[in-house]
Amino acid sequence: MSSSVEQTVYPSGSRVVATGALEADNAADAGGASGALSRGTAVSAGGMWLGVSVLPPGHHSVAHHHEDQTTIVCVISGSMRFLVSGPEGEEDFTAGAGQIAVIPGGLVHREENPDEVDCRCVVARNSEQPTVVNLS
For the stretch 76-121, pLDDT in tens is 999 999 999 989 999 999 999 999 999 999 999 999 999 999 999 9
Residue 134 has φ and ψ, to the nearest 5°, of -80, 135
Its pTM stands at 0.79
Domain covering 7-134 in this structure, CATH number = 2.60.120.10
pLDDT at 109: 94
Closest CA to 24 of 42, 13, 2, 39: 39
Q: Per-domain residue ranges for the chain? A: 7-134
Q: Please state the length of the chain.
A: 136
